[in-house]
Structure 1
Amino acid sequence: MPRPTHDPDDVSPPWWLKPMNKVLMAAMRVGLMREGPMVLSVVGRNSGTPRPTPVTPFTVDGKRYVVGGFPKADWVKNLRVAGEATLTQGRKDERVRVVELSADEARPLLRQFPVLVPTGVSFMTRSGLVTGPNPDEFEALAGRCAVFRFDPM
């Protein structure tokens, strides 16, 4: 099996990600993207102000999850501290409680991620976390890339 080109713990978001996220969120705000990505707003652990970022939740057995593609991403750190967030799609906001899964709980979800979130596969491949849509490679990210479950409040 091919191995990822980088240790996920050492991978940082690319320089272009924050500007691209702003463009994506603007497109979502004006209604150009009605399905797929959502805006996750979580209170900053240092600033105390809401920090928005686009995410692509996926559903398994009626529950929604999101994978943090970069272990050092600010939104992942903020979510761990806050424990709750707001998901926005179009003009609809939803408050959610957030639970980070253990590595054992995350493994089966990470195996399904390549099929359920194909855009996430190309993103994680370009970042060097995986070499392609191989479920074994995604499962190997358990415990290194956070997986969160969104529970209704």
Structure 2
Amino acid sequence: MSEQRDQASSRAGGAHYLAPGWFTRNVANRLVALVTRAGVSVLGSRVLEVRGRSSGQPRRTPVNLLTYEGRQYLVSARGHGQWVRNVRAAGGELSLLRGRSRTLYHADELDPADSVAVLRAYLKRWKAEVGAFFDGIGPDSTDEEIRRIAPRHPVFTLTAR
């Protein structure tokens, strides 16, 4: 697992990224995406659609949409992966899909120092699903502990278009 993290990290230009394994990529993500596209949200799941930074073609991946204090957020539990880099390259323009519904958003990346409360809320909601990607940090961790890992987990504030 450490080797997988290191290989993915070097492919991402030194940024932290833990690539999904075969089961997640080929079974779990596809199943969640299929159910979400059918209109059923699994604990807030959506399908993120963003223009690919190299191909220009739409890229889709399942994500967890977090609503916290009246705002909507996307958090990358796995780090600086493909969807994160595509959102950055697309100037923050993205769509979230659920069933036949498509909502256009503009995403603004939070400074890691400002993301502690959002990361805590995200971990409260999805720790069972994503806790392994947070190096033992959970919703009951101190602000300092969460602040330490925040740069590895990009957080985007969403504004509906």
TM-score tier after normalising by the smaller chain length: 0.7 to 0.9
Aligned to 1:107: 116
Gaps of 5+ in 1: 1-5
Alpha-carbon distance between aligned partners in 2 of 1:122 and 1:34, rounded to the nearest angstrom? 14
8 A contact 2:19–2:81 mirrored in 1: yes
- Residue 29 of structure 2 aligns with an amino acid whose one-letter code is N
8 A contact 2:121–2:139 mirrored in 1: no
Root-mean-square deviation (CA), in Å?
A: 2.4
Q: Residue 129 of structure 2: which of 117, 123, 141 is its match? A: 123
Alpha-carbon distance between aligned partners in 2 of 1:96 and 1:10, rounded to the nearest angstrom? 24
How many matched pairs? Answer: 145
Instruction: Determine which structure has the larger helix proportion and give its number.
Output: 2
2:80 counterpart of 1:72: yes
Kindly indicate whether structure 1 or structure 2 has the higher relative contact order, using CA contacts under 8 Å at least 6 residues apart.
Answer: 1
Alpha-carbon distance between aligned partners in 2 of 1:133 and 1:61, rounded to the nearest angstrom? 16
Residues 127-153 of structure 1: per-residue CA shift (max 9 Å, x gap): 463354434354432122100011111
- Identity value in percent: 30
8 A contact 1:130–1:138 mirrored in 2: no
TM-score normalised to structure 2 length: 0.77
8 A contact 1:69–1:124 mirrored in 2: yes
- Residue 53 of structure 2 aligns with an amino acid whose one-letter code is R
Aligned to 2:104: 95
2:30 counterpart of 1:11: no
Alpha-carbon distance between aligned partners in 2 of 1:52 and 1:41, rounded to the nearest angstrom? 5
- Residue 23 of structure 2 aligns with an amino acid whose one-letter code is W
Which stretch of the first structure deviates more once superposed, 57-66 or 121-130?
A: 121-130
Shift of 1:60: 1.8
Shift of 1:42: 0.6
TM-score normalised to structure 1 length: 0.81
